[in-house]
């Protein structure tokens, strides 16, 4: 399928007072990416981190920093995040319908990988033009909870979106975020997701390396929907 598993612990669930050591701990446990939730208190009610924290963390790690922008004005974040050392920049389709072409162009010009995210209530068809474009996004993030807070329960009904995406785009990176762990990974993997964001299930486990390994195995060994 050309879509290797990428396990991305959500640093929203980490100890923010020890972010650099928490990041290294996750990498030592087998993480591929570090998922960074950037929330503005507008698009979602929570307020988390921004470019200064990404810049500080970048000084301590060479890891892929997978930034998910839950913000109303993602264009304003492209330059500062690019300069801070972000690796991926995923914006929400719901607030980018008029300017996504400019967003994708600017994200790539800053050396970052563009992705687009959809909330549970948004039809998946809204991202198709962004993937089919001559200058496309390179990942689609399907939210499996309402964005804004960690620790929510996985919404299995969102797997229909993942299945539709995988059938239409066999080689696309498809990410899922929200409520992923040992009890839900099989649903996500069999639907076709290959990039797995997990917060509470990893950071809340006494053996995070085992959880990461289990999720990777589920993705790698799952029969895919074709």
The reply, when asked if residue 178 is annotated as ligand binding, is no
**Residue 160 is among the residues annotated as catalytic for this protein:** no
3-state SS, residue 60: coil
Catalytic residue from among 28, 76, 177, 220: 177
Taking only Cα atoms into account, the Rg of the chain, rounded to an integer number of angstroms, comes to: 16
3-state SS, residue 196: strand
The reply, when asked if residue 150 is annotated as ligand binding, is yes
Position of tokens 């300069």? 83
Catalytic residue from among 32, 37, 66, 173: 37
The Cα angle at residue 131 between residues 128 and 135, in degrees rounded to 5: 135
The reply, when asked if residue 151 is annotated as ligand binding, is yes
The reply, when asked if residue 105 is annotated as ligand binding, is no
Q: Is 138 exposed, middle or buried (0-12, 13-18, 19+ CB in 10 A)?
A: middle
Q: Among 94, 83, 91, which residue's Cα sits nearest to residue 56?
A: 83
The reply, when asked if residue 2 is annotated as ligand binding, is no
The reply, when asked if residue 199 is annotated as ligand binding, is yes
The reply, when asked if residue 173 is annotated as ligand binding, is no
The reply, when asked if residue 41 is annotated as ligand binding, is no
The reply, when asked if residue 13 is annotated as ligand binding, is no
**Residue 177 is among the residues annotated as catalytic for this protein:** yes
Q: Is the C-alpha dihedral spanning 164, 169, 170, 176 positive or negative? A: negative
Tokens of 163: 């299945």
Q: Among 213, 178, 179, 175, which residue's Cα sits nearest to residue 196?
A: 175
Annotated binding residues for substrate: 10, 68, 148-151, 179, 199-200
Annotated binding residues for a divalent metal cation: 35, 37, 68, 177
Q: Which residues are known to be catalytic? A: 37, 177
Annotated binding residues: 10, 35, 37, 68, 148-151, 177, 179, 199-200
């Amino acid at each position: 399928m050309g879509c290797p598993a990428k396990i991305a612990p959500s640093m929203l669930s980490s100890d923010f007072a020890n972010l650099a050591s928490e990041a290294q701990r996750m990498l030592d446990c087998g993480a591929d990416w570090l998922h960074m939730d950037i929330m503005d208190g507008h698009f979602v009610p929570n307020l988390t981190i921004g470019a200064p924290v990404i810049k500080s963390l970048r000084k301590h790690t060479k890891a892929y920093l997978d930034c998910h922008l839950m913000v109303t004005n993602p264009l304003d974040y492209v330059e500062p995040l690019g300069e801070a050392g972000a690796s991926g920049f995923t914006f929400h389709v719901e607030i980018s319908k008029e300017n996504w072409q400019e967003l994708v162009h600017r994200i790539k010009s800053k050396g970052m990988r563009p992705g687009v995210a959809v909330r549970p209530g948004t039809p998946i068809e809204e991202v198709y033009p962004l993937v089919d474009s001559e200058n496309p996004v390179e990942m689609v993030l399907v939210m499996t909870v309402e964005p804004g807070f960690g620790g929510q329960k996985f919404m299995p009904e969102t797997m229909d979106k993942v299945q539709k995406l995988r059938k239409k785009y066999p080689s696309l990176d498809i990410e899922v975020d929200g409520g992923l762990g040992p009890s839900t990974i099989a649903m996500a993997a069999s639907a076709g997701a290959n990039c797995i964001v997990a917060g509470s299930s990893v950071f809340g486990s006494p053996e995070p390396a085992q959880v990461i390994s289990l999720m990777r195995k589920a993705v790698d060994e799952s029969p895919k929907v074709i």
